[in-house]
């Protein structure tokens, strides 16, 4: 069990297997060891990645390298049912935050990974049908059983996060004050990059920070689109990236990652499966951009200055 969380970026597993690089278990083990050597000790997982195959791929890597799992903080996301997910009779893509589904999905994630516990369990998407009090009770049950450490959410806006506030849950009255009435949310994993910046000013990031939760930025390079001058956003940014790359001695991808990591309370979730790119990513996230450079890139991406 790995409790500490560093400020280093997180490694995402979405592209490890069938949705990307098609690494072998040995290749995943090498990548994870290489990432650990760089100081990346947190691995982001989800049951649906690779069409429900990537957790098992990571589990096979753990089985090959004893000790590897122990050095990692595992984030496991559950709650999406894809059209092609096993047992989805109607074949409709949907979210399922019912306790029965979450329990089954956690069982399956632990089995595929070959582990007894994940360090953070995350709801993958906001489900309008979710029942926060039932989820909070279940989370506490699983925490007591030792199958999960912290609880987190993903793609939750400010109002959705607030569903877990307040007195919905068993609080303890102490001298007339309600203590322990909130389910702690360790992190909110959100889409955040120069291609998707809504979280910065729609209240999502502020609510995440106000809740004491870490913001984890997924697709910090816009899935690679920000680096493509042929894409509309990539084209808008190209000139500014070239100029600032020379100024800061960083390649364009590193500059984009530094832009994300400069936002207080945010950790980037890196999507590369190449160790050299992870090395650059760690270096990029270690320092902030000066404020004027950060705003200059934001202005180039938005196509207008802040008011």
Ligand X SMILES: NC(=O)c1ccc[n+]([C@@H]2O[C@H](COP(=O)([O-])OP(=O)(O)OC[C@H]3O[C@@H](n4cnc5c(N)ncnc54)[C@H](OP(=O)(O)O)[C@@H]3O)[C@@H](O)[C@H]2O)c1
Binding site for ligand X (CB under 6 A): 12-15, 44, 124, 154-155, 189, 218-224, 227, 253, 269-274, 277
- CA-to-CA dists, residue 258 to 16, 101, 211, 223, angstroms: 23, 38, 24, 16
**Residue number, 58 or 169, with CB nearest to ligand X:** 58
**Residue number, 269 or 293, with CB nearest to ligand X:** 269
How would you class 64 by CB atoms within 10 Å of its CB: exposed for 0-12, middle for 13-18, buried for 19 or more?
A: middle
**Residue number, 59 or 220, with CB nearest to ligand X:** 220
**Residue number, 48 or 169, with CB nearest to ligand X:** 48
Crossing angle (nearest 10°) for helices 291-302 and 252-261: 110
Tokens encoding 99: 């306790």
CA triple 294-300-305, angle to 5 deg: 80
Least distance (Å) between residue 82 CB and ligand X: 13
- What is the C-alpha separation between 1 and 69, in angstroms, rounded? 8
Least distance (Å) between residue 256 CB and ligand X: 8
- CA-to-CA dists, residue 299 to 196, 215, 254, angstroms: 13, 22, 18
Least distance (Å) between residue 156 CB and ligand X: 10
Residue 81, strand partner residues: 94
Least distance (Å) between residue 48 CB and ligand X: 10
- What is the C-alpha separation between 277 and 33, in angstroms, rounded? 15
> From the CB of residue 281, how many other CB atoms can be counted at a distance below 10 Å?
28
**Residue number, 115 or 169, with CB nearest to ligand X:** 115
Least distance (Å) between residue 109 CB and ligand X: 14
> From the CB of residue 303, how many other CB atoms can be counted at a distance below 10 Å?
9
Least distance (Å) between residue 222 CB and ligand X: 6
């Amino acid at each position: 069990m790995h409790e500490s969380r560093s400020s280093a970026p997180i490694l995402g597993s979405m592209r490890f297997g069938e949705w990307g690089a098609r690494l072998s278990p040995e290749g995943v083990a090498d990548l994870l060891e290489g990432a650990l050597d760089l100081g990346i000790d947190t691995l982001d997982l989800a049951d649906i990645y690779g069409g429900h195959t990537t957790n098992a791929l990571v589990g096979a890597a753990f089985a090959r390298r004893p000790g590897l799992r122990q050095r990692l903080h595992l984030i496991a996301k559950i709650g999406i049912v894809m059209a092609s997910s096993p047992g989805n009779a109607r074949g409709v893509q949907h979210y399922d935050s019912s306790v029965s589904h979450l329990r089954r999905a956690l069982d399956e994630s632990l089995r595929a990974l070959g582990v007894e516990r994940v360090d953070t369990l995350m709801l993958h998407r906001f489900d309008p049908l979710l029942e926060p009090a039932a989820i909070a009770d279940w989370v506490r049950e699983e925490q007591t059983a030792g199958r999960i450490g912290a609880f987190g959410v993903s793609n939750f806006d400010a109002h959705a996060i607030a569903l877990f506030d307040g007195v919905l849950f068993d609080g303890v009255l102490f001298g007339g004050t309600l203590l322990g009435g909130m389910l702690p949310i360790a992190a909110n994993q959100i889409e955040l990059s120069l291609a998707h910046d809504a979280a910065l000013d729609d209240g999502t990031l502020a609510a995440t920070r106000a809740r004491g939760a870490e913001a984890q930025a997924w697709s910090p390079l816009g899935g690679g689109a920000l680096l493509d001058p042929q894409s509309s956003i990539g084209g808008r940014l190209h000139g500014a990236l070239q100029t600032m790359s020379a100024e800061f001695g960083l390649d364009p991808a590193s500059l984009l990652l530094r832009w994300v990591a400069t936002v207080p309370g945010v950790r980037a979730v890196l999507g590369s499966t190449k160790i050299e790119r992870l090395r650059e990513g760690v270096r990029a996230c270690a320092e902030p951009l000066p404020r004027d450079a950060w705003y200059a890139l934001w202005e180039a991406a938005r196509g207008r200055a802040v008011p």
